[in-house]
Amino acid sequence: MAAPTLAAFPGELQAGTRVEVKGRLVGPRAVAADLIEIDTRQGEEDGLGGVIESVDATARTLAVMGIKISTSAETALAGESREPIVFADFKQGQWISVDGTLGADGVLKASEVRIKPPKQQGSRATKLEGRVSQVDGARNTFTLLGATVTVTPQTEIVKKQPGGGGQ
């Protein structure tokens, strides 16, 4: 089978397409994709998973992959066992999963932040979920949540079907 390229998915992977990407952090806001799921479902929240790079307790913000995450009094905060926690429980180096909405300012406004068990792949493992904002077929990259995602020869690309997993 030929190595995947964005050109192999015309009309399916374009600006506005909803995707979930699992990959490795290769630089600030830069991810090499291991798996891309093209999601045909509508209305899902944006999300990301990765290691906390910084915590600003005063502003109630976190940073993961260089993406700023804002929380409010309405944000659900949960520990590894999904128990309620307080913002002060978040520490640099923890692996978290975030659901929310990406604002025009590039800040992910969190509806839920959960501490997750450390990943075996280490601190470079990451996950992004949302709508593609830009595609560069010549470079085999696209932009998701303000991060550049690169499709490599090892990237697996699947179509997620409504109500279930990938194809």
Which residues is 110 bridged to in the sheet?
100
Which residues is 114 bridged to in the sheet?
78, 97
Buried b (16+ CB within 10 A) or exposed e, 52-62: bbebeeeebbb
Per-residue pLDDT of the chain (167 residues; tens, 9 = 90+): 455 667 666 667 889 999 999 999 998 899 999 999 998 777 678 999 999 999 999 999 999 999 999 999 999 999 999 999 999 999 999 999 999 999 999 999 999 999 998 766 566 889 999 999 999 989 999 999 999 999 999 999 998 766 554 44
H-assigned helices in 94-162: none
CB 91 within 8 A of CB 113: no
133: left (phi over 0), alpha (psi -120 to 50) or beta: alpha
Fold of 17-160: OB fold (Dihydrolipoamide Acetyltransferase, E2P) (2.40.50)
| Stated pTM of the model | 0.86
Question: How many angstroms separate the CA atoms of 75 and 64, rounded?
Answer: 17
Rg over alpha carbons for the chain, rounded to the nearest Å, is 16
Domain ranges of the chain: 17-160
H-assigned helices in 3-104: none
- Helix (H/G/I), strand (E/B), else coil: 29: coil
